[in-house]
Structure 1
Amino acid sequence: MALALSTTVKLLEDKLLSLTISCMSVRERHKLNPPPKLRNPTWFTQKNRVSFTDPLTTENQEFLKEVVQDQCNNISSEKPKDLDVVWRPGLQRTGVIARKIGIYPMWLKNGKKISTTLLQVLDNQVIKYYTPESYNPPRPRAGRVSNRKGCLLLGAEQGDPSEFTREYCGIFKDSGVIPKKTLARFFVSPDAALPPGTSISALHFCVGNYVDVRGLTIDRGFQGVMKRHGFKGMPASHGVTKTHRRGGNIGGGGEKGRVWPGTKMPGHMGNRYRILRALKIWRINTKYNVLYVSGQNIPGATNSIVYIYDTKVVTKRHTEPVPFPTYWGGEEVPENIYDKELHEFGEPSIVFKEQ
């Protein structure tokens, strides 16, 4: 019995000695950039925005709307006596703020079909005028000695004053104009200055004039070269693998072994201000202040804000006098004004002569 027990103990010792225990140390992985501290510095003072709810009754709201409407009706667009400047080549007028509302086909008298874009001139009013000496641009250009043009601040689309901040409403304090939803600045000649409160309509332009339209293009996001630049792309088959819509070679070898500036590559598309120049005005609707402008590729989506200027193209500038500094009214005008080359829908298209 004792011999068997000793033999068993010896076998267990041999097995334990054959077992090898391996230990491996793992170092802690440190983060390259530590997490940001969420606590603000001691000198930082947090701003507390308090919203006050004014318990206005329905009667008080209606009364405020009547006051706003009365103030709008009291604004007169009569021509001041001191503005007797006659238009001459070289003078720069103000532009207008409009809204792109759609595309409409038109026909010429020779039967040719053209596409036009409808731009509705909103209730534009002058807010303030800055003289060339007093205007201080937010980003002054280096090298400019003096500013020869003044700055005219225009507003469009009347809004509810209770929906704007006190600082924003202070811009319209001295002009006597109800706060507007949209503001824009236009550089004008000193002779084309307008007093605050002056209204500008679609008759600021004439049929047959050429204008430049500036708008914000539609935001398409990140796009490839086929959609962004109109590339043809690679073949669909015959050995092409995973490069059907890629741009391909951008030029390599020798001196051009780098990416040249201006190379057409994938990137963000849209959401940029672009100007379409020398667009002809074919028709003006005086009832709704709508301009029928040639072309259907004006930048911006439908119902977006655009800015209309007198064209800068030398061959399309005004050769005849235009309303200067703007159209003051006082004359009876038809509801629709057509260009002499445009076919009016009320006129007969085919006329037969008696033999």
Structure 2
Amino acid sequence: MTALWDEWGARQPCTVLQLEDVQVVQIVENKKFVKPHLVSVQIGCSNKTKNISRPLLGHFKTAGVPPKWKLCDFHVTTDAVLPVGSEIKAAHFVPGQYIDLQAPSIGKGFAGVMKRWGFKGMPASHGTSKTHRSAGSTGQNQSPGRVFKGKKMAGRMGGNNVTVSSKVLKIDNELNLIYVKGAVPGHKDQFVRIRDAVKKQGTACFPQDYLPPPFPTIAPEILETLPRELIAKSGGIDPFLAKES
């Protein structure tokens, strides 16, 4: 993580993500199960040079792309299909756009109720012996005589697939970097799935300066004319003057 400063001088914490050798590997149509009719586009990233199985080697050879570390499927409409082998750059996204970031969270192992759920725990004194971090009672009397499903108890913490919504603050077209606001699930060097924000439909997902957005992706001739860095504007009024008033 790092930080950026907007036009008002306010500090914005952000995470830097890199699109490394992101290419279209396969196009799969499924007319039987998907309604409305969508197309599944398989995307691969980060070239891999060893420890590749023969079936995967054949899969990448058919597509005409180098073997990839990670494969992921995205459902798109039929008019947004890219040819196999097309490379997706950071300019596919625009500064100020809202996106969803999906990745496995950091695994914490087996954790107690205080760490996992924020329980207060048992008394720290007054005769309490060796049960200071206990969960306390977990059930009722003879009726119902069991523990309800979903009861918050000790168990495995972390390692779950987490989706967070964020805003693109900056794009580096030379290094293919995306600066997103706030933290991102997962550890360093984690593969992150990025897509347009689901809960912001239509033009609400993109800033007015970039309407219409690049569709289905940025054209190579337009990419060559773009500056290296594109920075989103926060807009509104100066937050420091607003506090004084």
Q: Counterparts of 2:110 and 2:75 in 1: how far apart (Å)? A: 34
Change (3 A) 1:256 1:109: farther
Q: Which amino acid aligns with 1:129?
A: I
| Secondary structure at the counterpart of residue 221 of structure 2 | coil
1:233 and 2:121 correspond: yes
Q: Which has the higher strand share?
A: 2
Shift of residue 318, structure 1, vs aligned partner = 3.9
Out of 20, 26, 40, which is 1:151 matched to? 40
- Alignment check: 8 A CA contact 2:96 2:206 kept: no
Runs of 4+ deviating beyond 3 Å: 144-147, 253-257
Q: Which amino acid aligns with 1:292?
A: Y
Q: Deviations over 1:66-91 (max 9, x none)?
A: xxxxxxxxxxxxxxxxxxxxxxxxxx
Task: Show the counterpart of 1:304.
Answer: 190
Alignment of 1:191-270 (within 5 A): 191-253=79-141, 257-270=145-158
Q: Deviations over 1:76-135 (max 9, x none)?
A: xxxxxxxxxxxxxxxxxxxxxxxxxxx01222333432211111111110111112338x
For structure 1, the 5+ residue unaligned runs are 1-102, 135-143, 343-355
1:336 and 2:222 correspond: no
Q: Deviations over 1:169-213 (max 9, x none)?
A: 111122211111211111111111111110001111000100000
Q: Which amino acid aligns with 1:280?
A: K
Change (3 A) 1:230 1:241: same
Task: Show the counterpart of 1:108.
Answer: 6
For structure 2, the 5+ residue unaligned runs are 236-245
TM-score (structure 1 length as normaliser): 0.60
Q: Which amino acid aligns with 2:168?
A: I
Q: Counterparts of 2:34 and 2:174 in 1: how far apart (Å)? A: 45
- RCO comparison, higher one (Cα < 8 Å, 6+): 2
Change (3 A) 1:302 1:235: same
Q: Deviations over 1:262-300 (max 9, x none)?
A: 2111111122111112x111111111111111112x210
Larger Rg: 1
TM-score (structure 2 length as normaliser): 0.85
Task: Show the counterpart of 1:323.
Answer: 214
Percent sequence identity over matched residues? 37
- Alignment check: 8 A CA contact 1:286 1:335 kept: yes
| Secondary structure at the counterpart of residue 281 of structure 1 | strand
Residue correspondences, number: 228
Question: What RMSD in Å do the two structures reach over aligned CA positions?
Answer: 2.1
Alignment of 1:101-180 (within 5 A): 103-133=1-31, 146=35, 148-160=37-49, 163-180=51-68
- Alignment check: 8 A CA contact 2:41 2:74 kept: yes
